[in-house]
Structure formats: structure tokens, C-alpha cells
Amino acid sequence: MSKPIAVLVGSLRKESYNLKVAKVLALIAPNSLRLKIIEIGDLPLYNEDIDTQNPPASYTRFRQEIAACQGVIFVTPEYNRSLPAVIKNAIDVGSRPYGKSVWSKKPAAVISVSPGAIGGFGANHHLRQTLVFLDMPTLQQPEAYFGGVANAFDEQGNINEKSRSFLKQFIDAYAQWAQKIA
């Protein structure tokens, strides 16, 4: 695929496990796939008044970056059994102005990442509900609930073999499937 695949990370924390997972995905992705982590932490909370009167430069930058990508991978923590506001805000920004959504038809995938045992299942599926409305075909299998992530990285930041192989299966499946959709 000539265009990059956008990666949205739903945590703004410097030492975020989700960010670490996103970076591993970028490293192990097959050659056909170029992953690009897109900044979402600078997007003001969506407000239609400021968008119509004087859209912030970050809204414009974000929309252009997503529009230039072939697909989107969401790497998200779970906050209170749902998706974090930062990722929902980015989705809302990209969905407007009305009729000019940057998401439509882009092949998506969701991986939820948590130190907890159920791997962010709630965030993963609440996010999927929104992707239906945005008309984004979404990878169904393998599902990717990355639980126990605190045990997956050593002190140097290296990921263990079992987790690496889990991520490899996920990203390879996305690459094959997204190629077909393209």
C-alpha cells in the first residue's frame, strides 16, 4: 500500500503501554504496511462553534493527516469500561464538518491494551460501535484484547516473545485484509 496507515493511541501518558504497543506494531508490520502514529493530544475538545467560526490549526492538521492515510488502527486503553475521551474526541473532530468525515470507508482495526485481565474488552467494543456509524469496515478476526500488558515488557522496554507473536498475528491479518479492501 502506498499510503500510510494511521495509528491512533488512546493514551497521552509518556510511559503509556498503549504507545509502546503501537511502536512495536510499527516495527513488526509487514513491508507492505507503513504505520504512522498521528498526534491527537493537541486537539481541543470538540466544539461546533469554534469549528465553524475559526477551526483550530490542530483540527485541520489532523483531518489532513487522516485523509492522507489508507486505513486506521486504534490502539486504546480502557477507561471505566469504555474508550478514553481523548480517542473519542479525535474521532469526533475527524467526523466533522458534516458530510466531510475523513473516516468513511477506511479499513480499521482495534486493539485494546490493559494491565487488567480482560484486556480492555469494554473499550474495544464501544469503539467498534462508533466505527459502524462512521462506515469504517473493521477487522473482525483475530480480535485483539491485550491483557496483562504490564508483564509483557522488560525494564529495557523489550516485549516478550509471546506478546510479540500475538501482535504479529494481528498486524499480518490486518495487512492481508486491508489489501483486499483496497
Looking at 16, 58, 138, 179, which residue binds ligand FNR (CB under 6 A)? 16
Q: CB neighbours of 162 closer than 8 A, spacing ≥ 6?
A: 152
Q: Give the residue, chosen from 6, 86, 120, 178, that forms a contact with ligand FNR under the rule CB under 6 A.
A: 120
Do 144 and 170 form a contact (C-beta atoms < 8 A)? Answer: yes
Q: Interface with ligand FNR includes 17 (CB under 6 A)?
A: yes
Q: Taking CB under 6 A as the rule, does residue 23 contact ligand FNR?
A: no
Q: Dump the DSSP string for 138-155.
A: B--SS--EE--GGGTB-T
Q: Which stretch binds ligand FNR (CB under 6 A): 57-65, 88-96, 112-120, 124-132?
A: 112-120
Residue 77 interacts with ligand FNR (CB under 6 A): yes or no: yes
DSSP letter at 55? -
Q: Which three cell numbers stand for residue 105?
A: 470507508
- Shortest distance in whole angstroms from residue 56 CB to ligand FNR: 25
If binding is defined by CB under 6 A, does position 74 make contact with ligand FNR?
no
Non-local (6+) Cβ contacts of 114 within 8 A are 17, 77, 78, 120, 123, 146, 147, 149
Question: Does residue 124 interact with ligand FNR by CB under 6 A?
Answer: no
Q: Interface residues with ligand FNR (CB under 6 A)?
A: 11, 13, 16-18, 77-81, 114-116, 120
